[in-house]
Structure 1
Amino acid sequence: MQKRCLSDLTIKNDFMFGAVMINPENCKEFLERALEIEIDRVDVSREKSMVYHPDYKGIRLDVYAKDENNTCYNVEMQMTKKPALGRRSRYYQSQMDMDILLSGREYAELPDSYVIFICDFDPFGERKYRYTFQMQCKESNQTPLEDGRRIVFLSTCGENEDEISKELLAFLKFVKADLKESREMEERFMTLEEMLKDERKEGLKEGTVKAQKRIVSKMLSKGLSDEEIMELCDISLEELENLKNHR
């Protein structure tokens, strides 16, 4: 099946943000748009957990990636406005640092890191599509701290279209249009994803064709369209019709 561009992906194709970003090419393209940088390649982890002590709050990162320079990226989808978002970003970044720097290593070995929130609201009320934060000396605008940290908030509710790239604007408009459907369908597809994992494991035991028939039957019973089933199972319309006729 032909690979889709990031701008073509919808919740009906990949079902949730994490499923899209786990693809290294999609994640790389997003990061380049969001940060206006060039990246050669990225390694991506989905739902990376960081728990260092039972007495302290652990976190689970939606998407965690590293590029060829070992720069680290955490990308979070934020659908509703919650208090202390800035402090949350601070905690996430501190946990990332703990995960990166092992005992006995030098502080200079800490790589650059980004925490990126994609917000379906305006987190600061300034009508910006992007808010970028990094440490700066209060007494001198010419003196950056150079600690390698950046926190970026992307908003689907901005109005400053002339201040960001057309590619980032197109992505944020895509997110804005798609989030409503995502909210309604997320639980359904999370259940479906678990079902698929189980069915595929069974398919290794009983044969691919028989397993596909059972998967298609369950998908139809859950009300999925032919297009959704073809996308999930990576089959053609002809193959789908054949499975439907012989289930």
Structure 2
Amino acid sequence: MKKTNSTNAKAKKSDRLKVNSKSTRKKFDALEKKKIIASLTLMDDLFMQVVLEEQACTEYILQTILDKSSLKLKEQRLQKRMPNLHGRALILDCLCTDEKGLLYNIEVQNSSAGATPKRARYHAALMDTHTLKKGEKFSKLPESYVIFITDKDVLGEGEQLYQIERVIRKSGNLFRDGSHILYFNTARQDDNALGKLAKDFKEANPKEIQSEVLSHRVSSLKEGKLDREGEKKMNVLLEKYRKKAVEEGIEKGIEQGIQQGLEQGKNHLALLIGHLLETGRMDDLKRVSYDEDYREKLLKEFGL
């Protein structure tokens, strides 16, 4: 009888531990979501895609960068996939057309590799390829703008806004092919309209965002003032962001482990990553990829 009571007690204790574990995991998930949401800025490409679903935000950004206050959009498509004839596809962050038929492609790029001149050329070429219909004259090809919004000064000349045009070298006259490439350098924040927009792109607190339309949209997303469809999209965004952070953390961690050349260190790092994933400690996971002292601290914490 005593044995049965002891077995029941152990079973109840095990059930309580499982319940507590689920409860703890939910708290971790809620806390992690809160942290991610609080840290998001317009320079996070995944978050930017959700922000731009409100067309007024896209219009404001284009109006400011191009200095065209009258610009009005007719249509926009987010995450537009554009393949070429050889199967090399490109997914455009935001592709839109204004009321005059002009074409715009907005890309948020946090790395220099994602904003090379030849990539800009490829964006423009694909837009042209997918715009002109069979049998149409080349004169029907619309004026187009490829706009890279960059975290750093990718082209390295200190400009706030780079406007790239083809020119006739000898005379210096514009070639006038209707293709425009722009790089908006958000690292330079002058006291002007572009500088204010650059600050807004890097501001996580919606109350500190100077643009009314952007502030309202970011506030709605971050404070959960959304309909059911909006909440669903934010949940999808958070899951994508979380997976991206995990992948980047693992890749950086493994890369550092290889550079150290310590097989034992790599094994310990892999175990540490597993523990952090299991407990939902995403911020710690990202930090151990670059902070060696903190990594050593966590290795000791987990007895590794």
TM bucket, shorter chain: 0.5 to 0.7
Of residues 39, 48, 51, the one that matches 2:71 is 39
The corresponding residue for 2:80 is 48
The corresponding residue for 2:177 is 147
Of residues 109, 115, 119, the one that matches 2:150 is 119
Which secondary structure state, in structure 2, belongs to the residue aligned with residue 32 of structure 1? helix
The code of the aligned residue for 2:166 comes to M
Verify the 8 A CA contact 2:107 2:148 in the aligned structure 1: yes
Aligned-pair distance for 1:194? Answer: 6.5
For residues 123 and 46 of structure 1, the distance between their equivalents in structure 2, rounded to whole angstroms, comes to: 24
Q: Are 2:199 and 1:169 equivalent residues in the alignment?
A: no
Q: Are 2:105 and 1:74 equivalent residues in the alignment?
A: yes
The corresponding residue for 2:139 is 108
For residues 24 and 190 of structure 1, the distance between their equivalents in structure 2, rounded to whole angstroms, comes to: 16
Which secondary structure state, in structure 1, belongs to the residue aligned with residue 199 of structure 2? helix
**Change in CA separation of 1:117 and 1:12 when aligned onto 2, cut-off 3 Å:** closer
**Change in CA separation of 1:194 and 1:131 when aligned onto 2, cut-off 3 Å:** closer
Aligned-pair distance for 1:22? Answer: 2.3
Pair member with larger Rg: 2
The corresponding residue for 2:119 is 88
Which secondary structure state, in structure 2, belongs to the residue aligned with residue 42 of structure 1? strand
1:195-246 deviations in Å (ceiling 9; x for gaps): 99xxxxxxxxxxxxxxxxxxxxxxxxx9xxxxxxxxxxxxxxxxxxxxxxxx
Q: Are 2:245 and 1:193 equivalent residues in the alignment?
A: no
Verify the 8 A CA contact 2:73 2:96 in the aligned structure 1: no
The code of the aligned residue for 2:152 comes to F
Verify the 8 A CA contact 2:115 2:154 in the aligned structure 1: no
Aligned-pair distance for 1:167? Answer: 2.4
**Change in CA separation of 1:123 and 1:194 when aligned onto 2, cut-off 3 Å:** closer
Q: Are 2:92 and 1:61 equivalent residues in the alignment?
A: yes
Verify the 8 A CA contact 1:42 1:67 in the aligned structure 2: yes
Between Structure 1 and Structure 2, which shows a larger proportion of helix residues? 2
1:131-190 deviations in Å (ceiling 9; x for gaps): 01011111112x21111010000111226x26xxx2221111122344xxxxxxxxxx98
The code of the aligned residue for 2:175 comes to L
Aligned-pair distance for 1:130? Answer: 0.7
For residues 89 and 29 of structure 1, the distance between their equivalents in structure 2, rounded to whole angstroms, comes to: 22
For residues 179 and 40 of structure 2, the distance between their equivalents in structure 1, rounded to whole angstroms, comes to: 31
Of residues 50, 53, 60, the one that matches 1:29 is 60
The code of the aligned residue for 1:157 comes to A
Verify the 8 A CA contact 1:76 1:116 in the aligned structure 2: yes
1:24-72 deviations in Å (ceiling 9; x for gaps): 111111101011123133311000001133x331100000000001100
**Change in CA separation of 1:194 and 1:27 when aligned onto 2, cut-off 3 Å:** closer
Aligned residues: 174
Q: Give RMSD over aligned pairs.
A: 3.0
Q: How does 1:221-232 map to 2 (within 5 A)?
A: none
Aligned-pair distance for 1:19? Answer: 1.1
Aligned-pair distance for 1:124? Answer: 1.4
Q: Which runs of 4+ in 1 moved over 4 A?
A: 12-15
Aligned-pair distance for 1:129? Answer: 1.4
For residues 126 and 70 of structure 1, the distance between their equivalents in structure 2, rounded to whole angstroms, comes to: 32
TM-score by length of 1: 0.63
Which secondary structure state, in structure 2, belongs to the residue aligned with residue 82 of structure 1? helix
The corresponding residue for 2:31 is none
Unaligned runs of 5+ in 2: 1-38, 205-231, 240-279, 281-304
